[in-house]
Structure 1
Amino acid sequence: MEKIPVVQEPVAQDLAPPHLPPHTLPHSPTSGRDGKFHVRLTEGRFQNLRRLVSWPLLALYFGLVWVQFDGQPWFLFSFEQHKIILFGQALSWRDLSLLAGLLIASAALLFFLAVAWGRIWCGFACPQSIWTWLFIRIEDFTEGRADKRTRQAAAPLTFHTLIRRLIKHLLWILLALATAITFTGYFVPVREILSAAIQLELSATVSGWILIMAGITYLNAGLVREQICLHACPYSRFQGVMFDDHTRTVSYDARRGEPRANRRKGSGNSGDCVDCGLCVQVCPAGIDIRDGLQAACIDCAACIDACDRVMSKLERPAGLIRFTSEAQLQGEKTHFFRPRLAGYAAVMLVAFSAVLYGFTQTTQLLVEIRRDRGAMFRQVNAQTVCNVYQIKVEGYSETQRFVDVSITGEGEFSLFGQRTIDLSEENAYWLPYRVCARDLALSKAELIFHFKGEALSASRQTTFLTRVF
């Protein structure tokens, strides 16, 4: 019987790229037995740059909600008043399209950054990353450095360790609550929230929303922080289709670093990587950048700072891990300006220009007119017919308080109702108006309501009916 030749499957070593020999990463001193890893904090120019970006954003987030102008919040999405206040400018809910345009323009900006510099937004300005670093610093402050936390996690629980952990979670909860209250303060004035909370009069809706937001913050930044960037954030998936060979992202120079060798066991053929593992220990996503580009990498550049410090101590050139492109790693020339990047830049500029123009054309006087559906028209006598309307007027200008109401049309019309409307009313409501016409021969006529103030005016056209068709 003829033997069938057995084809052996290629092993991982055969599949390894020629410039990156297979290597088994030693056990990281910051990785626990249960798979949990503890991030080691580091310092460097990129961490300073990240703080230079993140701290002002934090100050804006926590501080902007307290800013008031003429007794009104400077930034508020008010459901009660049916208006949006952006930097002191009141917008109607009909101007929500401007916010949609702003989101589209911001998305184009993110795509532009991704094509040019990878996930630099994620590493330096994303709220998830900013709050993650805050929670890591609290953890480092209460429980000690990463190696100490790892040893404590592997050792039996002691009273001293338990107290430190309780303090850590308490500080996490307090920060999560502060974050949730501030976020809610952009929809309900924050002073009202705190006043109601002190007096134990906070509504169930607001209380529930604060607890939900605090729980999400505590969970995302404290317990499953690295999983959010990898599994929940769609931006990590976008990079696979937006990156190209000229995208500058955090990369390991395998040509220079391989083969890896311990400093003491190195030889003349060894690369610059001394296999210290610091690039893994400082990574908030827990990846090894030496394995190449990965979806979990957020380009925070912590591994660059850690590696540069090691290279400095060994008196070797910095940049073994650096922001660079695949083309540069292969010794080719990188082109910054390219069609894809230019396309995203064009979309971004057009979107931002359209949004800026839209903010100059916002609604200052919003008028809504409804016909009374219960009675299409009312025959008073042989010569007079009346129609009933419901009108609501909302003003979005701080300089305009009163508007006068008048009508014009194809015939002799009389208006009955409130002739002057006070726009300073916090809760806009529908006002009843009755319009009557005498000796109107037409079955219907065009009727125009005019609303005029010192600085604002608006007109709305409707139909006046005399009989059913």
Structure 2
Amino acid sequence: MEKIPVIQDSALDPGMTTDKKPASSGCAQSPARSGKFHVRLTEGRFQNLRRYISWPLLALFFGLVWVELDGHPLLLFSFEHHQIILFGHALSWRDLSLLAGLLIASACLLFFLAVAWGRVWCGFACPQSIWTWLFIRIEDLVEGRANKRARQDLEPLTAHRLARRATKHLLWVFLALATALTFTGYFVPVRELFSQAMQLDLSAAVSGWILIMAGLTYLNAGLVREKICLHACPYARFQGVMFDDHTLTVSYDARRGEPRAHQRKGGDSSGDCIDCQLCVQVCPAGIDIRDGLQAACIDCGACIDACDNVMSKLNRPKGLVRFASEAQLRGMSSRLLRPRLAGYGVAMTLAFAAVLYGFTETTQLLVEIRRDRGSMFRKVDQHTVCNVYQVKVEGYSQEQRFIQVSISGKGDFTLFGRTQIDLTEDSAYWLPYRVCAQNQTQPATELTFTFTGELVSVSKDTTFLTRSF
């Protein structure tokens, strides 16, 4: 990690310009730095908080895919078996609405957080930010600190630097492939996936998917980085309508910091900001927080940590850059309870309650019945008529295996076919059934198939035909 030195002129990165224009406390929209810039790593309480959040999330992402319960993955979206396994609980594809509800509830949570504390999700838990910081740390480890990389960019490329740069990109590619393989493991059983990958026996579809995911990870976290947050993520545009005067965001206290003056040139009338530019150098989005609230800011707190470290070295109070609302910057108190925040809180609570209730009403046994279109009915003799059906039964409980099949209706019906279905063997197939009736006079009669298991019983109605209409 890079320790912030006592502020001198050399603290500025080579090639970086210093904007002496004072910033207001309003919501100015100054653009982020264009072109290539190097993010300087810093230390502080918000960077530690981000690690306490991001590292468990990373461990969960890379580790959860390997966890099994009773021989089944703990989390799997299986296209092959047409089911979703969430923490040992199997869902049918007809329960996908629950996942949509979960996304809506999560969006309400995101909006609630945005109204209260700004873009803390973006800065501390968003996958784009987490992977971007990982790629930046690899770059810092292999090629050196930000100021060193900036100086080297102005010099001719040497063989040693070329080797270090190639090593950096190889590590990026390795991390991108590991990410893509792990993500794919949530759709294809991961042990089967890695076994096929080691034997170079992956299908063209799976191989293409992994390469696309790896390429997107490499581009987004390694090359594009903060541009995704500014230009591709809609959340950056939402913040303007979700924030209010009491929303806590990373802010610069212009009343305390202005007018800016260098440490060695400042006088009694100067503000606390010494224009060291460290808040700009550590920003992953490349903005100057002193220009006010900006769409590119992800509220990661890196500029707060850098500024607090400088204030500590100068024996000045911390908090020149801090999480503060517009009301607080104007010297007013900030209200936690307010209508907009309460509205998002109620919507979030109701959405999560609806999703939790939905999980108690999931499909445990899915039954489909279709008639043989080749023959609506068949006359065996003068008194006997038969109908042919195709039946498919899918179970979504690990504790349920055998299903008993029976029929009922107004008449003398006889069932020909399997009376017991093994869900572990037969759930992926359409099974033929023939139903015959004696002395049936009605042209159409309601017929009920009943499927009974250890935990659930499902009835499915169909029609028994004796003649054409």
Q: TM-score band (shorter)?
A: over 0.9
Aligned to 2:72: 72
**Local SS of the residue matching 1:332:** coil
Shift of the 422–284 alpha-carbon distance from structure 1 to 2, 3 Å rule, reads: same
Aligned to 1:39: 39
**Distance in structure 2 (CA, Å) of the matches to 1:263 and 1:115:** 37
**Local SS of the residue matching 1:425:** helix
1:357 aligns with 2:357: yes
Aligned to 2:18: none
1:115 aligns with 2:115: yes
Question: Comparing 336-345 with 210-219, which one deviates more in the overlay?
Answer: 336-345
Q: Which amino acid aligns with 1:45?
A: R
Aligned to 1:275: 275
Alpha-carbon distance, 1:439 to partner: 1.2
**Local SS of the residue matching 2:53:** helix
Alpha-carbon distance, 1:147 to partner: 0.1
1:179 aligns with 2:179: yes
Aligned to 1:414: 414
Q: Which amino acid aligns with 1:162?
A: L
**Distance in structure 2 (CA, Å) of the matches to 1:466 and 1:76:** 46
Alpha-carbon distance, 1:19 to partner: 6.8
Alpha-carbon distance, 1:376 to partner: 1.4
**Distance in structure 2 (CA, Å) of the matches to 1:413 and 1:199:** 54
Aligned to 1:202: 202
Question: TM-score w.r.t. structure 2 length?
Answer: 0.93
Asked whether the equivalents of residues 394 and 427 of structure 2 are also in contact (C-alpha less than 8 Å), the reply is no
**Distance in structure 2 (CA, Å) of the matches to 1:45 and 1:425:** 55
Alpha-carbon distance, 1:18 to partner: 7.0
1:140 aligns with 2:146: no
1:305 aligns with 2:305: yes
Question: Comparing 50-59 with 425-434, which one deviates more in the overlay?
Answer: 425-434
Alpha-carbon distance, 1:94 to partner: 0.9
Aligned to 2:447: 447
Please give the per-residue CA displacement for 1:333-386, whole angstroms capped at 9, x wherever unaligned.
Answer: 211111111111111101101111111111111111111122111222221111
**Distance in structure 1 (CA, Å) of the matches to 2:348 and 2:25:** 39
Shift of the 437–288 alpha-carbon distance from structure 1 to 2, 3 Å rule, reads: same
Aligned to 1:154: 154
**Local SS of the residue matching 1:284:** coil
Q: Which amino acid aligns with 1:177?
A: L
Shift of the 18–185 alpha-carbon distance from structure 1 to 2, 3 Å rule, reads: closer
Aligned to 2:293: 293
**Local SS of the residue matching 2:404:** strand
Asked whether the equivalents of residues 413 and 437 of structure 1 are also in contact (C-alpha less than 8 Å), the reply is yes
Alpha-carbon distance, 1:134 to partner: 0.1
Shift of the 19–131 alpha-carbon distance from structure 1 to 2, 3 Å rule, reads: closer
Q: Which amino acid aligns with 2:196?
A: A
Q: How many pairs align?
A: 447
Aligned to 1:49: 49
Paired residues for 1:270-419 under 5 Å: 270-419=270-419
Alpha-carbon distance, 1:387 to partner: 1.1
**Distance in structure 2 (CA, Å) of the matches to 1:206 and 1:72:** 21
Please give the per-residue CA displacement for 1:18-59, whole angstroms capped at 9, x wherever unaligned.
Answer: 779x9x99xx9xx8xx83100000010000000000000000
Q: Which amino acid aligns with 1:442?
A: Q
**Distance in structure 2 (CA, Å) of the matches to 1:92 and 1:201:** 29
**Distance in structure 2 (CA, Å) of the matches to 1:378 and 1:249:** 74
**Distance in structure 2 (CA, Å) of the matches to 1:190 and 1:122:** 29
**Local SS of the residue matching 2:424:** coil
Alpha-carbon distance, 1:454 to partner: 2.0
Asked whether the equivalents of residues 402 and 420 of structure 1 are also in contact (C-alpha less than 8 Å), the reply is yes
**Distance in structure 1 (CA, Å) of the matches to 2:379 and 2:344:** 62
**Distance in structure 1 (CA, Å) of the matches to 2:192 and 2:334:** 55
**Distance in structure 2 (CA, Å) of the matches to 1:218 and 1:351:** 35
**Distance in structure 1 (CA, Å) of the matches to 2:425 and 2:134:** 43
**Distance in structure 1 (CA, Å) of the matches to 2:127 and 2:290:** 26
**Distance in structure 1 (CA, Å) of the matches to 2:333 and 2:117:** 16
> Looking at both structures, which has the greater relative contact order when contacts are Cα pairs under 8 Å and sequence separation is at least 6?
2
**Local SS of the residue matching 1:424:** helix
**Distance in structure 2 (CA, Å) of the matches to 1:426 and 1:360:** 26
Please give the per-residue CA displacement for 1:100-132, whole angstroms capped at 9, x wherever unaligned.
Answer: 000000000000011111110000000000000
Aligned to 1:8: none
**Distance in structure 2 (CA, Å) of the matches to 1:100 and 1:375:** 40
Q: Which amino acid aligns with 1:195?
A: S
Unaligned stretches of 5+ residues in structure 2: 1-20
Aligned to 2:465: 465
Alpha-carbon distance, 1:199 to partner: 1.5
Aligned to 2:235: 235
Q: Which amino acid aligns with 1:231?
A: H
Paired residues for 1:222-261 under 5 Å: 222-261=222-261
Aligned to 2:11: none
- Percent of paired sites with the same residue: 74
Asked whether the equivalents of residues 23 and 290 of structure 2 are also in contact (C-alpha less than 8 Å), the reply is no
Asked whether the equivalents of residues 81 and 428 of structure 1 are also in contact (C-alpha less than 8 Å), the reply is yes
Q: Which amino acid aligns with 2:152?
A: Q
Q: Which amino acid aligns with 2:297?
A: C
Asked whether the equivalents of residues 95 and 363 of structure 2 are also in contact (C-alpha less than 8 Å), the reply is yes
**Distance in structure 2 (CA, Å) of the matches to 1:18 and 1:77:** 50
Q: Which amino acid aligns with 2:226?
A: E
Q: Which amino acid aligns with 2:352?
A: F
RMSD: 1.9
**Local SS of the residue matching 1:136:** helix
Please give the per-residue CA displacement for 1:176-209, whole angstroms capped at 9, x wherever unaligned.
Answer: 0000000000000111111112222111111111
Aligned to 1:6: none
Q: Which amino acid aligns with 1:68?
A: E
Instruction: Return structure 1 stretches of 4+ with deviation > 6 angstroms.
Output: 15-20
